[in-house]
A and B are shown apart, each in its own frame.
Chain A
Amino acid sequence: MDLFFFLLFAIFAIVCAVNVVLQTHPISSALSLVGVMGSLAILYLLLGAEFIAMAQIIVYAGAIMVLFIFVIMLLNAGGESKRGLSVTSSILGAPLLVAFLGLIAYFVQRAFPNAPAVKFGNFTGGSAESVGRALFTRYLLPFEVTSVLILIAIVGAVVLARKEID
């Protein structure tokens, strides 16, 4: 059952990710990216990360992608017109990326030959309680610094957008 759900959502994620790269219109890419994020949330659930799965849905698919789609519709951006790829990158790009992927896959297989298989329910430390406990005890300082980061991002976005109105 674990294998079935993993394969289903892994293949869905890969198909959506390929679609993100291949679609010429940005709104199609954005909707495919929502599919990738949703299937990754299911995979997080399979790995026992309930809190992160919900945060993935709410923050990524809910907030960030809505922001992207707002901007795409606001700019009324059409499809890409011409592909300005250089000859070198169009010849060498894809084989180099495949080689990169192959190297990673090879070393991952080499590095974890005897790792125990992933089974749903073997790790239950990803609940909101345990994540919150770690966040507010051991990682309290980074958490507080994060709030400053968010504040700076809000101020920066407002400043950049106000220049647009003036």
Chain B
Amino acid sequence: MLSQLQGGVPLSWYLVLSAVLFTLGVAGFLFRRNIITVFMSIELMLNAVNLTFITFSYQLKEVNGHIFAFFVMVVAAAEAAVGLAIILTVFKNRGTLNIDEIDSMKN
């Protein structure tokens, strides 16, 4: 086992790390009540998926995964700009960041 590890890091470790980060992002998304923290958990999930793309790009020795990760970053940047503007507007109209109190679209 140890001599095997001298040659580098097993591929699955990178994928498991990505899964751990994704699960933590899901946990933050589900358990947190601050809308900004929920938004940051989404960014954490996007980062975890990017790590998987880069790992498979390494495994297949192709650059396509890098392009996908690049597009994910672009979409994340656009999403952050619009989402934070929406959060600003919501806070101005409601005076709260708690997602339990922002429920006017419920039913």
Chain A residues within CB distance 8 Å of chain B: 2-3, 6, 10, 13-14, 17-18, 20-21, 26, 29-30, 33, 36-37, 40, 43-44, 46-49, 51-52, 55-56, 59-60, 63-64, 67-68, 71-72, 74-75, 77, 80-85, 89, 93-94, 97, 100-101, 104-105, 108-109, 112, 115-120, 122-123, 125-126, 130-131, 134-135, 139, 142, 146, 149-150, 152-154, 156-157, 160-161, 163-164
Contact = CB atoms under 8 A, between A and B. Distances in A.
Contact of B20 (A14, A20, A89, A142): A14
Nearest to A142: B71
B102 interface: no
B97 to A, nearest CB: 5
B57 A49 contact: yes
B23 A33 contact: no
A83 B32 CA distance: 8
Interface residues of B, number: 72
A93 B61 contact: no
Contact of B24 (A20, A26, A131, A164): A20
A100 B14 contact: no
B11 A116 contact: yes
Interface of B: 4-5, 7-17, 19-21, 23-28, 30-34, 36-37, 39-41, 43-44, 47, 50-51, 54-55, 57-59, 61-64, 66-67, 69-71, 73-82, 84-89, 91-92, 97-98, 100
What secondary structure prevails in chain B residues at the interface with A?
Answer: helix
Given A68-B36, A75-B97, A43 B51 contact: yes
18 contacts: A20-B28, A44-B51, A51-B66, A71-B84, A75-B88, A89-B31, A108-B19, A109-B16, A112-B11, A112-B15, A116-B11, A120-B8, A123-B61, A126-B63, A130-B63, A139-B67, A157-B82, A164-B89
A97 B26 contact: yes
B58 A48 contact: yes
B33 A134 contact: no
Nearest to B91: A75
What secondary structure prevails in chain A residues at the interface with B?
Answer: helix
A13 B31 contact: no
B70 A55 contact: yes
Contact of B40 (A33, A115, A117, A125): A33
B19 A105 contact: yes
Contact of A71 (B58, B61, B62, B87): B87
Nearest to A153: B78
